[in-house]
Copies of this chain bind each other. A is one copy, B any other.
Amino acid sequence: MLFGAIEAGGTKFVCGIGSEYGEILEKFTIPTTTPNETMERVIGYFKGKHFDAIGIGSFGPVDLHKSSSTYGYITSTPKPYWGQFNFLGEIQKEFPIPIGFDTDVNAAALGEKEWGAARDVDSCMYMTVGTGIGVGAVVNGELLHGLTHPEMGHIFIRRHEKDLFEGSCPYHKDCLEGMASGYAIEKRWGKKGIELARTAKVWELEAYYLAQAIANYILILSPKKIVLGGGVMKQQQLISMIRNRVTGLLNGYLQHENITSGQIEDYIVLPSLGENAGLCGALALAKKGYFRR
């Protein structure tokens, strides 16, 4: 069985075809321009190919309420032209087959649970630390939705006492994304993260913020696996700094061997689907959409 997959990001769209076992057979990258132009190229790519369902993991915010008149829309994004865009509808019009639609990060969480680093558990969280910070989660095997989809990148965290950066979030200034996204790193230090790879204090501060957020996610959601992806996590020193700080913050309160007895390396992990995490996630959404018909 074959599925179409669309990883829709603010910078680029990755489209592909894959199998029900999570193998990506081909993929095609398109820069994100206007909705019209981008969708024309997406549809052009899939047209004439064979697949049984499509999965879309989209940048957001998106409307995921199936009973809503704007279900499948990208809603209040500040990205020009994309606000109130009927993404699902445009694809459905061309391809009258099952479509799974969710946020990019929920898709990535589902992909890692199906075929990746979280395939041995029924609940997990996928956090991407890139230009922005997004988090998706699977709870009891289902993607986490509620009043809206979670927006965990914007939680309020404690400022480091020596950090004078005001924060870069247009809504909340110094929320997590405002203090620890790739964009915040560049704004604070005047250089991109990749150019600061050897500046220890940059990554100590980054670990300080990310660990605090992750400790709160653990206390609130109690995921069975935490997968950390995105460009900022490519700093290889970062994940062990985060693990140490999370253990320190929780301070023995949560009595679980994953946290207390040195097994945190198997609890807070990197994505095992690597570059294909997003596309595999969209593939997993397609599979879910297909079997839910």
A6 to chain B, nearest CB (A): 24
| Beta-carbon contact of B147 and A76 below 8 Å | no
Residues of B with C-beta under 8 A to A223: 146-147
Q: Is the C-beta of A171 less than 8 angstroms from some C-beta in chain B?
A: yes
Q: Is the C-beta of A71 less than 8 angstroms from some C-beta in chain B?
A: no
Stoichiometry, as copies per complex, reads 2
Q: Is the C-beta of A212 less than 8 angstroms from some C-beta in chain B?
A: yes
A47 to chain B, nearest CB (A): 34
- Enumerate A243-293 residues with CB–CB distance to B below 8 Å: 249-256, 258-259, 267
Q: In the complex, which residue of chain B has the Cβ closest to the Cβ of A173?
A: B251
**A127-152 CB contact bits vs B (8 Å, 1 = yes)?**
00000000100011010111111111
A156 in contact with B221 given A172-B251, A255-B76, A256-B147 (CB within 8 Å): no
**A212 to B158 alpha-carbon distance, docked (Å):** 11
Q: Is the C-beta of A33 less than 8 angstroms from some C-beta in chain B?
A: no
| Beta-carbon contact of B156 and A254 below 8 Å | no
Residues of B with C-beta under 8 A to A135: 220
A254 in contact with B151 given A156-B157, A156-B212 (CB within 8 Å): yes
Q: Is the C-beta of A19 less than 8 angstroms from some C-beta in chain B?
A: no
| Beta-carbon contact of B222 and A220 below 8 Å | no
Q: Is the C-beta of A181 less than 8 angstroms from some C-beta in chain B?
A: no
| Beta-carbon contact of B224 and A220 below 8 Å | no
Q: Is the C-beta of A159 less than 8 angstroms from some C-beta in chain B?
A: yes
Residues of B with C-beta under 8 A to A221: 144, 146, 150, 220-221
**A255 to B64 alpha-carbon distance, docked (Å):** 13
Q: Which of A150, A152, A171, A253 has the most CB of B within 10 A?
A: A253
Residues of B with C-beta under 8 A to A146: 123, 139, 221-224
| Beta-carbon contact of A155 and B216 below 8 Å | yes
Q: List 6 A-B contacts (CB under 8 A).
A: A123-B146, A148-B254, A156-B157, A156-B215, A158-B159, A171-B253
**A positions within 8 Å CB-CB of B:** 61, 75-76, 123, 135, 139-140, 142, 144-152, 154-159, 171-172, 212, 215-224, 249-256, 258-259, 267
Q: Which are the 10 A-B pairs with shortest beta-carbon distances?
A: A146-B222, A171-B253, A155-B216, A147-B222, A76-B255, A123-B146, A152-B220, A151-B219, A220-B220, A155-B219
